[in-house]
Amino acid sequence: MSTQAGSANAEDEHVNDFESSSQLLNDSACYRLDLEIQEIESQIRELPSDHEDLPEYKYWLGSLFGRRYQEEGDLQDLNAALEILQEAIDLSPDGHPIKARCLQDLGITFTKRYTRLGDLDDIRAAVQVKQEAVNQSPEGHPERARYLHSFALSLMTQYRSLGDLDDLEVAVQKFQEAVDLTPEDDPNKPQRLQSLSVSFTDRYNRKGNLQDLEYALQIEQALVDMTPEEHPNRAVHLASLAASISDDWEVYMIWKLL
């Protein structure tokens, strides 16, 4: 056998070993999830129906089914997550510490099923329960900015699916609120600014108000300025900034020609 052929075979064996190891790790993670689900199901069966911790147990069980759906893609797990999270919500009175979190995760799970099946009722449900998550997290709540941002994302998805301008208007408002509530040094700040920029761009494309394009441009410039040169997202922000500048310049030239 030639040295070149031997090297190729060794490389193939290395790739196969790597793929086998990756599969074993994935199988191990799924197995641990199965055990966790079984354990919490067992604990729930032992709790009285009026136990004060039952909503939290239901929440964790629903979250585990959601994680297993992410790992394995079984729609039954997604449906189970929806059902169990709804049970957790029904068991939680308004103001219960777990209620807003359950509503938020239920909304995310509805969004996943919408992405999977394309049923508009699911994105409508996501918007509704995420709105309630915001309502359950008053001013000063540590997760309010996250819930506002997530609510606005679902509104944007609904807007792009149905074209209702009211959804876009509320999304812009909620994205802005989320940004305003997010400290400058919060690692989520760039993502929330990016979402706000996208919503301004969508509104410009719909209504043609140049001010929205200018707002998007200012945000993209701010994102570039706040992102270190070695950061992998800097190229993305530069591309978005270039696109906004291109749109702005095109509008300016058309205005000059009129």
> Which tens digits make up the pLDDT trace of 177-187?
999 999 999 99
Asked whether the predicted pLDDT for residue 239 surpasses 80, the reply is: no
In terms of DSSP H, where are the helices of the chain? 3-46, 54-72, 75-91, 99-117, 120-135, 144-162, 165-181, 189-207, 210-226, 234-257
Distance CA 215, CA 212 (A): 5
Q: What is the pTM of this model?
A: 0.80
Backbone phi, psi, residue 177, to 5° = -60, -40
Q: How far is CA 40 from CA 31, 101, 222, in A?
A: 15, 18, 46
Residue with tokens 């706040």: 226
Work out the pLDDT band at 3, boundaries 50, 70, 90.
Answer: low
Nearest to 91 by CA among 128, 125, 126, 47: 47
Distance CA 76, CA 58 (A): 17
- Contact (Cβ atoms closer than 8 angstroms) between residue 194 and residue 152: no
pLDDT digits (tens, 9 = 90+) for 91-118: 999 989 899 999 999 999 999 999 999 9
pLDDT digits (tens, 9 = 90+) for 188-222: 999 999 999 999 999 999 999 999 999 999 998 88
Burial of 162 per CB tally in 10 Å (0-12, 13-18, 19+)? exposed
Q: For the chain, how far is it from start to end, CA to CA, in angstroms?
A: 75
Asked whether the predicted pLDDT for residue 86 surpasses 80, the reply is: yes
Burial of 141 per CB tally in 10 Å (0-12, 13-18, 19+)? middle
Annotated domain spans of the chain: 184-258
DSSP assignment, residue 188? T
- What letter represents residue 213's amino acid? L
Percentage of the chain beyond pLDDT 90 is 72
